[in-house]
């Protein structure tokens, strides 16, 4: 095939993103993510698209926040709101709903989904083992309950509930050396909304 200089290039020199002549595969119209190989690019093209455009996702979000261990959870909330707003979500499209503790989160998330029909919900809390003998119950039921609500309603519910052994570990994950799990949960919510729009 002649190039701009009139030279003939082999098909392989055109790069892996152009389908071979006669191939039924569609050309990909978006650039590959840095580091993606051609095989990854083809296999995960749709998935990658849903990650690519997080800035234009939009959508409406409910954030269900536990008051227990609020010194940590409020930092998760700051991280989550910051991540949503930085990716273009309007503050008017974010509602914050507070509940007493992680135990109350599943039923609250379910009610919020039923009454508000958000595109996604973000559940934020912190269950710290050192703080209670019933850690296993609270953490286990919060996780199971939230998963169950997500699966039964079909609305994405990002799990931003820390389940850690110590207060130090909680602090590490709420905006210090291990990042901010609230912000990470918000990015997951954005990605799921983007994905569901694209499907
Ligand atoms: N709730 C939490 O969110 N985190 C905890 O670490 C915690 N501890 O340790 O007990 C906790 N307990 C409260 C629980 O979630 C309920 O609010 C309470 O049992 C009333 O139903």
CA 76 / ligand 1 centre spacing (Å): 17
Burial class of residue 162 (count of CB atoms within 10 Å of its CB; 0-12, 13-18, 19+)? buried
| Ligand 1 and 162: CB distance under 6 A | no
In this predicted structure, the answer to whether residue 45 has a pLDDT above a threshold of 50 is yes
Closest-CA residue to 149 (of 182, 126, 123)? 123
Tens digit of each residue's pLDDT (9 = 90 or more) over 132-153: 678 889 999 999 999 999 999 9
Kindly give the distance from the C-alpha atom of residue 2 to the centroid of ligand 1, in angstroms, as a whole number: 69
Q: Is 175 left (phi over 0), alpha (psi -120 to 50) or beta?
A: left
Q: Are 92 and 128 in contact (CB under 8 A)?
A: no
The confidence score (pLDDT) of residue 9 equals 39
Q: How far apart are CA 60 and CA 155, in angstroms?
A: 12
**Nearest residue by C-alpha to atom 5 in ligand 1:** 127
Residue 104 DSSP one-character state: G
């Amino acid at each position: 095939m002649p190039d701009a200089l009139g030279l003939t290039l082999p098909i392989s020199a055109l790069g892996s993103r152009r389908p071979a002549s006669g191939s039924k595969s569609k050309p990909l119209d978006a650039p590959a993510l840095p580091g993606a190989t051609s095989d990854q690019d083809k296999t995960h093209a749709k998935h990658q698209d849903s990650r690519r455009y997080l800035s234009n996702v939009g959508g409406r979000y409910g954030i269900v926040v536990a008051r227990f261990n609020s010194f940590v959870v409020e930092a998760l909330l700051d991280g989550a709101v910051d991540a949503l707003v930085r990716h273009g979500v309007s503050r008017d499209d974010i509602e914050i709903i507070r509940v007493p503790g992680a135990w109350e989160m599943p039923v609250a998330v379910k009610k919020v989904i039923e009454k508000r029909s958000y595109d996604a919900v973000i559940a934020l809390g912190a269950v710290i083992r050192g703080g209670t003998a019933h850690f296993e119950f609270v953490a286990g039921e919060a996780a199971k309950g939230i998963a169950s609500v997500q699966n039964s309603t079909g609305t994405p519910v990002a799990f931003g509930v820390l389940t850690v052994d110590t207060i130090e570990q909680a602090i590490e994950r709420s905006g210090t050396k291990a990042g901010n799990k609230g912000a990470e949960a918000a990015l997951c919510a954005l990605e799921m909304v983007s994905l569901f729009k694209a499907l």
